[in-house]
């Protein structure tokens, strides 16, 4: 994933996380979802058109569509108020794909840090599936806080490291990323157990998600 695109993934994750915990209304987050979703569909399409059938380049671009379609789906649901079950089940599909991409990052691509990042995204998308697809509304706050925390861990911070040409990958860094992801999950459930800031409205729960 390109560093610029990754930076905006962090931005939209942050906004959608705030929406899930009830700090901003769903419709106010729709615009950024449309902007970033459109970007994450156009950019990989351009990359694939110029890839000269290179499987590695096409594979790298393919994962961007998972983000782009998710954000566009989110934006549409926020504007229309339509039920979110379809997005929830799509999130399960994305979670499965994220696990596969994460494994490939560890093996064929030899980028274990992004392997860990993709596995963290898989957990996040699976939580969206539980909230939207299976109506586990009690997980909404935890999902929101986890989204906020990993927006920085898996989006903003790696993006700036890439932009500054200071990104490094390896087994040790991947382990640190994985542990940090687990800590973020634990913190998210802790904050949710305290009910902070408050329970999201039923409309936000039905229309809010991200990845």
Mean of pLDDT values over 72-88? 96
Flag whether pLDDT at 90 surpasses 50. yes
Flag whether pLDDT at 86 surpasses 70. yes
Distance (Å, whole) CA 184 – CA 147: 9
Query: What is the pLDDT of the chain when averaged over all its residues?
Result: 91
Flag whether pLDDT at 88 surpasses 50. yes
Predicted TM-score of the model (pTM): 0.91
Mean of pLDDT values over 60-84? 94
Flag whether pLDDT at 80 surpasses 70. yes
Flag whether pLDDT at 67 surpasses 90. yes
Task: Give the pLDDT score at 57.
Answer: 84
Own/partner long-range contacts of 59-63 (Cβ < 8 Å, ≥24 apart): 59/104, 60/1, 63/1, 63/97, 63/101, 63/118
């Amino acid at each position: 994933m390109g560093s610029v695109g990754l930076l905006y993934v962090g931005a939209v994750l942050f906004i959608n996380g705030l929406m899930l915990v009830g700090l901003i209304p769903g419709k106010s987050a729709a615009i950024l979802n449309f902007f970033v979703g459109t970007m994450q569909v156009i950019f990989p399409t351009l990359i694939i058109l110029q890839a000269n059938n290179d499987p590695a380049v096409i594979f790298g671009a393919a994962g961007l569509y998972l983000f782009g379609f998710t954000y566009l789906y989110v934006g549409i649901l926020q504007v229309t108020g339509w039920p979110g079950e379809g997005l929830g089940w799509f999130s399960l599909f994305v979670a499965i794909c994220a696990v596969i991409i994460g494994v490939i990052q560890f093996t064929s691509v030899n980028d274990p840090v992004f392997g860990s990042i993709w596995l963290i995204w898989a957990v996040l998308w699976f939580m969206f599936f539980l909230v939207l697809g299976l109506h586990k509304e009690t997980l909404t706050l935890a999902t929101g806080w986890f989204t906020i925390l990993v927006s920085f861990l898996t989006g903003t911070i790696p993006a700036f490291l890439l932009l500054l040409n200071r990104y490094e990958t390896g087994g040790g860094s991947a382990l640190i990323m994985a542990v940090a992801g687990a800590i973020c999950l634990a913190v998210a459930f802790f904050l949710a157990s305290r009910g902070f800031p408050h329970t999201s409205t039923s409309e936000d729960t039905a229309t809010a998600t991200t990845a």
